[in-house]
A and B are shown apart, each in its own frame.
Chain A
């Protein structure tokens, strides 16, 4: 069966510090991968998605970047965090045969607080 992991679960970082959040998927090959951010009490904002190794699409211009160094690994990064980067970050995957509009499977999320 497929599983998706995210770490860390919570993170408190000072403004201006770097960020690296990792997401890995097991039990499937060539998945579509996604990073979302969720503000408190709000819906999900799609940040990045990837249809393959080294292929990243950014949906929202921002202070963050994403990379996919391996088929089932997706990394969210920042060189210098801003206060506005605080939020709940969710990684998700879907079967990689469509444009990513079919069922998505989410990780447990990372709660990021920037102080």
Chain B
């Protein structure tokens, strides 16, 4: 079963607006990561936030983590058409083999209209 789930599934905004995507997860984590995927391409790592961190910034990206609510948000400020992509959160979870590995949500498809 998936550990993390993004919300909303799809988001359409105008260039210059901010985009906020949310991720909820079920069990305790060591870290939470956000990735970006352009259509038909591989995933690109954006940012990692550890369980003892509450907020992290990277350029126009801002990630928050609330471990009490088991949720995270990704904010993209001043969006650009080039930000159009799918965004995934990934959390570490214990797999059937007993090892920890990353599990990915279904993603939020962001469309930024020029």
User: Are the CB atoms of A43 and B102 closer together than 8 Å?
Assistant: no
Q: Could you jot down 26 A-B contacts, CB within 8 Å?
A: A36-B104, A41-B109, A43-B2, A43-B88, A44-B104, A46-B101, A46-B102, A46-B103, A49-B101, A59-B97, A59-B101, A90-B42, A90-B43, A92-B43, A99-B101, A100-B99, A100-B102, A101-B30, A101-B100, A103-B33, A104-B90, A104-B102, A106-B43, A108-B42, A109-B40, A109-B41
B31 contacts chain A at the CB level, 8 A cutoff: yes
Contact A106 B44 (CB under 8 A): yes
Does B78 reach chain A (CB closer than 8 Å)?
A: no
What's the interface size class on B, roughly? 20 to 34
CB distance from A16 to the nearest CB of B (A): 27
Contact assessment for B48 and A103 in the assembled complex, using a CB-CB cutoff below 8 Å:
yes
**B residues neighboring A (CB under 8 Å):** 2, 30-31, 33, 35, 40-45, 48, 88, 90, 92, 95-97, 99-107, 109
Which of B45, B102, B106 touches A101 (beta carbons < 8 Å)?
Answer: B102
A87 close to B (CB within 8 Å): no
Hey, which bits of chain A sit against chain B, CB under 8 A? 34, 36, 41-44, 46, 49, 57-59, 88, 90, 92, 99-109, 111
Nearest chain-B residue to A4 (Cβ)? B42
Q: Identify which of B2, B42, B101, B105 contacts A106 (C-beta below 8 A).
A: B42
Q: Judge whether A103 and B88 touch: CB under 8 Å.
A: no
Which among A43, A46, A101 is the interface contact of B105 at CB below 8 angstroms? Answer: A43
**Bound CA–CA A102/B33 (angstroms):** 8
| Cβ contact within 8 Å between B42 and A107 | yes
**B21 → chain A closest CB, angstroms:** 14
**Contact across chains for B92 and A101 when beta carbons are under 8 A apart:** yes
